[in-house]
Amino acid sequence: MKLPKIVGHRGAATHAPENTLAGLRQAAAFGAAWVEFDVMLSRDGVPLLHHDKSLARTTGDPRLVTETNFADLKTLDAGAWFDPRFAGERIPTFAEAIAVLAELGLGANVEIKPAPERESETAEAVVAELRKSWPATLPPPLLSSFEDSCIEVALTRAPELPRGHLYEAIPANWQDSVARLDCRSVHGREYLLDQEIVAQIRNAGYRVVTYTVNDPARAVLLDSWGVDTIITDDIPAITAALAKADAV
C-alpha cells in the first residue's frame, strides 16, 4: 500500500469548508495527492460527507444528520459558516465526492463515521458506493474507522481494499484488533503518539498514520520518528515544513 506523506484533513480544512467539494478542490490545488474525509448516513441512508453528528456547526441547522432526510440536507448551506466566499456550498454525497476525486486524480482515506447503532449499515453503504463508482484510475481507497464493527464489514465485503484502524491514544493491545481485522495501518492522534509506539507499530509491519498535525515543527518531529503519513488541515504549511526538513 503506497500512502502519501501528507493527506488533507476533511479536504483542506484550514483553507476551505471541511468535507465539501470545494475542500477537495482546494486540496488538489495545493498539490495534495490524497485527502481524508468522513462519511455518514442521512436518515434515509444516503452516504454523505460530514464530521459532526449535529448539523449545527457547519450549517446552523440544529438537527442531527442521522435524523434528517437527504432531500432536507441538500437544502442546507455548508460553506457560509466558514467564509461568505463559500456560500452555497452543499453537503456532498459520497458519490459526488468520488466523481470529483476522479476528476482531480485525488486519492482518499475514507473514514467511516457512523451514527450510534448504524455502524454496519454505514460501512455497507460505503462499500456499496465504492463498488459502484470508485474509478480504476485512482489508487484503492484506504478505509478507516474508530469502530471495529465498521472495519469488520469492510474486511468481509471488500477484503481487497486496505484498512486502517483509528484510535485516539493507541492502546497497549492495539495489535489484537489490527491483526484480527487485517489492517495495514494504525492511525493515532498526533499529541498522544510517542517515538516508542511509532517504532513498535512499524517494527510489527504496519504503517503509522497520524492526525491532525497543523504545527510545522511537530510534523517534522513526527516524521523524524518514522511516521508514514501526516493528516493535516493545513497542507501548504506542512508541505513547506517537511520540504525544508528534506522530508518530502
Indicate whether 38 belongs to the interface with ligand G3P (CB under 6 A).
yes
Q: Which of residues 166-185 bind ligand G3P (CB under 6 A)?
A: 166
Indicate whether 231 belongs to the interface with ligand G3P (CB under 6 A).
yes
Rounded to a whole number of angstroms, the minimum distance from the CB of residue 71 to ligand G3P is 26
3-state secondary structure of 103: helix
223 is written with which cell numbers?
516524521
In sequence order, the 6+-apart residues with CB closer than 8 A to the CB of 141 are 107, 108, 109, 110, 130, 134, 161, 162
Give me the 135-154 binding string for Mg ion, x by CB under 5 A, dash otherwise.
Answer: --------------------
Task: Count the residues of the shown chain that bind Mg ion, applying the rule CB under 5 A.
Answer: 2
Q: Kindly tell me which residue out of 50, 51, 90, 163 binds ligand G3P, with binding defined by CB under 6 A.
A: 51
Active site (catalytic) residues: 9, 51
Which part of the chain contacts Mg ion (CB under 5 A), choosing from 93-101, 106-114, 131-139, 152-160?
A: 106-114
Q: Which among 63, 80, 109 has a CA at the least distance from the CA of 22? A: 80
Q: Which helix (H) or strand (E) holds 6?
A: strand 6-9
Q: Which is nearer to ligand G3P, 188 or 216 (CB)?
A: 188
Indicate whether 228 belongs to the interface with Mg ion (CB under 5 A).
no
96 is written with which cell numbers?
459526488
Cα(36)–Cα(246) distance, integer angstroms: 24
- The option from Mg ion, ligand G3P, none interacting with 19 (CB < 5 to 8 A, set by class) reads none
Give the distance from CA 156 to its chain's centroid: 21
In sequence order, the 6+-apart residues with CB closer than 8 A to the CB of 106 are 24, 27, 28, 32, 33, 34, 35, 100, 138
Rounded to a whole number of angstroms, the minimum distance from the CB of residue 55 to ligand G3P is 16
Q: Kindly tell me which residue out of 17, 35, 36, 97 binds ligand G3P, with binding defined by CB under 6 A.
A: 36
Q: Which helix (H) or strand (E) holds 130?
A: helix 119-133
Indicate whether 38 belongs to the interface with Mg ion (CB under 5 A).
yes
Give 165's strand partners.
Answer: 145, 186
Rounded to a whole number of angstroms, the minimum distance from the CB of residue 166 to ligand G3P is 6
- The option from ligand G3P, Mg ion, none interacting with 231 (CB < 5 to 8 A, set by class) reads ligand G3P
Give the distance from CA 170 to its chain's centroid: 18
Task: Answer yes or no: are the C-beta atoms of 184 and 1 closer than 8 Å.
Answer: yes
108 is written with which cell numbers?
482518499
Q: Which is nearer to ligand G3P, 39 or 153 (CB)?
A: 39
Rounded to a whole number of angstroms, the minimum distance from the CB of residue 109 to ligand G3P is 6
Q: Which is nearer to ligand G3P, 39 or 242 (CB)?
A: 39
Which residues of the chain form contacts with Mg ion (CB under 5 A)? Answer: 38, 111
Positions that interact with ligand G3P (CB under 6 A)? 9, 36, 38, 51, 111, 144, 166, 187, 211-212, 231
